[in-house]
Amino acid sequence: MFVFKAAVVGAGTMGGEIAQVVASAGIPVVLKDVKQEFVDTGLEKARQVTEAQLGSLVKKEKITQENADAQREEILGRITGTTAYDGFGDVDFVIEAVPERMEIKQAVFGELDEATPGHAILASNTSSLSITEMAEATLRPDKVCGFHFFYPASMMRLIEVIEGDDTSDETLAVASNFAQALRKTAVRCGEVPGFVVNRILTSAMSEVWRVTEDEELDIKDVDKAIQESGTVPMGPYYLTDLLGLDTVLHVAEHLHDSYGERFHVSKPMQELVEAGNLGQKTGKGFYEHG
């Protein structure tokens, strides 16, 4: 099956940029959120990423400014924002990118089952949750899979394609081909908590969180030392602010529940989330954001 039209549900940290990736590959995409202001934020993100990408091509003299202006309008013209399920009646592939809570995901999958044609594949951008449980909210569990992008979606090349208990081989093949059409590399994963990348990343972050708390280290000093080691572009606390503290915390809690003490849940992060400080998206996390 070829994907002629796609949809993204949730226009937050990931959703707006995922819609931009789909539109850049020449495929029309509907972007849904619960409020118009959230849809607008997602559309604005898509605009910024498109302008940055085309601007860099102009700078390198690969395309002219006129060409860039025309391409920008074409790409952004393929994204339609909505707060309802208008435009979902003829989609072939949906990427769900709502908050990392099973009850929210299951409610969305139930709605998607009603709003989309029977052949459409319903995929989740979940970082760690069970695809099988999400599929239980639908009458098409064979057409449900994971389709996990990494932050920032427009730059990171990998997509984890995750197989639930009932996912069919055909669904996995369509998802892997779709990832390629988006110019990404698909890696097929079994349904284990954290899949491949978050199991490795969160394990490393866990050690940093644990030692920072045990030794009462300053978060900024830790970030500076790790960044200056030259192995990663930024320290783990600053990265957590960009990813969203609520998302990182839910993944850490889920991995702790699944694998035990070797995954540490950061207390300062829990306190910040409880206070509603979720990182860059709310203006404050471990750092203040302008």
Ligand X SMILES: NC(=O)c1ccc[n+]([C@@H]2O[C@H](COP(=O)([O-])OP(=O)(O)OC[C@H]3O[C@@H](n4cnc5c(N)ncnc54)[C@H](O)[C@@H]3O)[C@@H](O)[C@H]2O)c1
- Compute the C-alpha angle 5/8/12, nearest 5°: 155
- Nearest approach, Cβ of residue 273 and ligand X (Å): 12
**Residues within the interface to ligand X (CB under 6 A):** 9-15, 32-34, 38, 97-100, 104, 108, 125-127, 148-151, 243-244, 247, 281
Q: Tokens 């999958």 belong to which residue?
A: 109
- Whether 46 and 56 have beta carbons less than 8 Å apart is answered as no
Whose structure tokens read 């009932």? 166
Nearer to ligand X, 223 or 246 (CB): 246
Beta-bridge partner residues of 123 = 95, 145
Annotated catalytic residue 254: no
Sign, CA torsion 179/18/109/240:
positive
Least distance to ligand X, CB of residue 90, Å: 19
The contacts of residue 93 (CB under 8 Å, 6+ apart) are 3, 6, 7, 120, 121, 123, 174, 175, 178
Nearer to ligand X, 100 or 113 (CB): 100
Smallest gap from residue 256 Cβ to ligand X (A): 16
Minimum Å gap between C-beta 22 and ligand X is 15
Q: Which is nearer to ligand X, 150 or 238 (CB)?
A: 150
Q: Which is nearer to ligand X, 243 or 273 (CB)?
A: 243
- The catalytically annotated residue of 119, 148, 250, 264 is 148
Residue numbers annotated as active site: 148
